[in-house]
Amino acid sequence: MKKVLSIMVLVVLLTSLFSAELVIYTSDSFAGGIARVVIPKFEKTYNCKVKLISIGSMGDALARVVAEKKSPKADLIVGLSAEQLQMAISEGVLEKYRPVNSKNIVYKSLVNDYGTVYDYGALAMIYNVEKIKNPPKTFKDLLSPEYKGKIVLIDPRTSSTGLTFLMWTIAAMGEDGAIQYWSKLKNNVLTFTSGWSAAFKMIETGEADMIVSYATDGAYSMYEYGSIKYMPIIFEEGAYLLEEYAAIVKGAKNKALARAFIEYMLTNEFQKEVPLNQWMMPVTNAELPEVFQKYVPKFKKVLKVDPNINSRLDEILKKWEKAVIG
C-alpha cells in the first residue's frame, strides 16, 4: 500500500512539474529559427506548454527582464550574448544553474554557473555579390567612399549582434581607436536597425548591399537558393566569435521545467538542428551538414577583448552613442 501511495505521489509531482507553462523571453531570430523545430518536440516529451515571447532584439528582452525584476514573468531568457549575460548577472536577474549536460560542451571555457551556451559563430560582414564587386578586406577598407550608403549596421544598445560587432572593433583597434573608427564609419552607414532580423531582411530584399551578420551566411545562401547571393567577409585583422546563452530568470515560477529545457538544449536532438535552423555552430560534437563544411570560411586568428570590459559596457555604449548618434 505504501509503495502504491509513493508511486501515486510521484505521478502527481511529475504531472504538476511538467504540465505547467514555461515562459521564454527571446529574440526574433531564435523564435523564427530553431524554436519552430525544437519546442514542439520539447512540449511533447515533457507534456507541457511553452509560451515563447519574442520581444524583437535581445537588448529589449533583457531590458524587460530587468524591468520585471521585482515580479518576474519569464522563466527563461534565451539568446544572450556573452556581454549581455554579464550585464544580466550584474543586474541580479539570473538564477545559478550549471546543467548536467554541460559535459557535452566541447569548449569547456564557455561553461559557467549562470548562462548555458547553446551555439556560437564568427561574426562577418556579408555583401551582395551582384552589387559589391570590390568587397572590403579590412576594417579600414570599410571606410572607403565607394561604400557610402551601402552598409546597414545593428545598434549595439539593443542587439547582441550589434554589441558583438562593437566588441570586434574594440578587439581589433583598442577602445579609443574603435570609438574614433566608428565616428568615421557612421558616414558610410545607410541605417542602424534595432536587431539582426531587420538587417538581414534588408539584404534579402535588396535594400542593403552589405550588413553585419555571420560567417555561415554563404552556406545559408547556397542551401536556400542553390547559389551564392551574398558572401561573408572575416576581416584580415582576425575573427570575433559570438556565443548565445540561455539562462534561468531569478524568481522564475517554473524552475524545474526551465532546467529541463536547458538540459534539452545540450542534447543531440537540439544541437543537430542548430546549423540549418539557427545558422550557427553547435557547441557539442553534433555532425555538421555538408553545406557548412563547404561554404563556411575558415579563419586563422581569433580576436578577444579583456573580459573586464563587461563591467564597463554602459560607459562604452555611451561613448559609442556620443561618437555615432551625437
User: Are 27 and 56 contacting, i.e. CB atoms less than 8 angstroms apart?
Assistant: yes
Strand partners, 211: 126, 152
195 and 95 belong to one structural domain: no
What is the Cα 187 distance to its own chain's centre?
27
Q: What is the pLDDT of residue 19?
A: 55
Q: What is the pLDDT of residue 311?
A: 83
317 and 194 belong to one structural domain: yes
24 and 171 belong to one structural domain: no
Residues 81-103 have pLDDT tens digits of 998 999 999 999 999 999 999 99
Which CATH number do you get for residue 141? 3.40.190.10
Nearest-5° Cα angle at 271, 268 to 274: 150
Residue 77: partners with Cβ closer than 8 Å, 6 or more residues away: 24, 25, 26, 61, 62, 65, 88, 94, 246, 247, 249
125 and 111 belong to one structural domain: no
Residues 180-204 have pLDDT tens digits of 999 999 999 999 999 998 999 999 9
Residue 238 half-sphere exposure toward CB, CA atoms < 13 A:
14
Q: What is the pLDDT of residue 254?
A: 96
Beta strands 76-80 and 115-128 are unpaired
Is the pLDDT at 298 greater than 70, yes or no? yes
φ, ψ of residue 159 to 5 degrees: the values are: -125, 140
Residue type, 112: N
Beta strands in the chain (DSSP E): 21-26, 49-54, 76-80, 94-95, 115-128, 151-154, 189-193, 210-214, 230-233, 241-249, 281-282
* Distance separating alpha carbons of residues 195 and 160, to the nearest angstrom: 8
What is the Cα 324 distance to its own chain's centre?
23
172 and 273 belong to one structural domain: no
250 and 113 belong to one structural domain: yes
178 and 228 belong to one structural domain: yes
* Distance separating alpha carbons of residues 4 and 142, to the nearest angstrom: 71
50 and 109 belong to one structural domain: yes
pLDDT tier, 171 (very low <50, low <70, confident <90, very high otherwise): very high
Residues 118-141 have pLDDT tens digits of 999 999 999 999 999 999 999 999
User: Are 210 and 148 contacting, i.e. CB atoms less than 8 angstroms apart?
Assistant: no
226 and 270 belong to one structural domain: no
Under DSSP, is residue 95 helix (H, G, I), strand (E, B) or coil? strand
* Distance separating alpha carbons of residues 94 and 296, to the nearest angstrom: 34
Q: What is the pLDDT of residue 308?
A: 83
* Distance separating alpha carbons of residues 92 and 46, to the nearest angstrom: 29
Domain that holds residue 148: 121-241+297-324
56 and 88 belong to one structural domain: yes
215 and 178 belong to one structural domain: yes
Is the pLDDT at 271 greater than 90, yes or no? yes
* Distance separating alpha carbons of residues 277 and 38, to the nearest angstrom: 10
Q: What is the pLDDT of residue 160?
A: 85
* Distance separating alpha carbons of residues 57 and 316, to the nearest angstrom: 19
141 and 7 belong to one structural domain: no
Q: What is the pLDDT of residue 56?
A: 80
Neighbours of 30 (CB within 10 A): 24
